[in-house]
Amino acid sequence: MLYTRKGDKGKTQIFGCNQKLSKSSVIAEALGTLDEANSFLGVIKSKTIDKKLGTVINNVQENLFIIQAEVAGADKRITRTKVLELEKIINQIEKELPPIKSFFISGASETSALFDFARTLARRAERRAVQVAEEGVAKVGPETLAYLNRLSSLLYALARQSAHKSGFREAIPKYK
């Protein structure tokens, strides 16, 4: 059954936990924003024909499930190795691109715009995870916070790479 009626009064239960919490709690908000980012990455993955890129996105999605489990209180953690894996991918992409000298207006290509939007979702998820950690309502490891920070950098790099590979120039804001 896809509905239980148990959440009709604004409370929810985290998978594997007997405790009920408000759907407006910082944990519920963090889990929801992580889910948004993960789901939107699925949209991007469904549109890509590049198998290597699809694998990168899928790995990120798997790691976002680990982060969700951690925020929910499970004994799951992001490792330093996973942070370093993102850094390695970002460094490889940066070698292909011209240096950054300004902000860029999103939308050089459809795929770059999708990655830019995913970046904003990842940033929001990072802010919510930081809030959970700062308020002490759940233990969120430093590697997890680092991973979420690198994730937005990866998505920015992928947006730039996508525009570059498609032959589109990145538009610089004029601030007029």
Q: Is the pLDDT of residue 18 over 90?
A: no
Q: Is the pLDDT of residue 171 over 90?
A: no
Q: Would strands 20-22 and 11-13 be described as parallel, antiparallel, or unpaired?
A: antiparallel
Q: Is the pLDDT of residue 2 over 80?
A: no
pLDDT at residue 15 is higher than 80 = no
DSSP-derived secondary structure letter, 10: S
- Beta strand ranges found along 15-150 (DSSP E): 20-22
pLDDT tens per residue across span 52-67: 999 999 999 999 999 9
Each residue's pLDDT tens digit, 130-168: 999 999 988 999 999 999 999 999 999 999 999 888 888
DSSP 3-state of 16:
coil
Tell me the fold of 20-94+106-165: Hypothetical Protein Ta1238; Chain: A; (1.20.1200)
Q: Indicate if the pLDDT at residue 73 is higher than 60.
A: yes
Give me the residue spans of the domains in the chain: 20-94+106-165
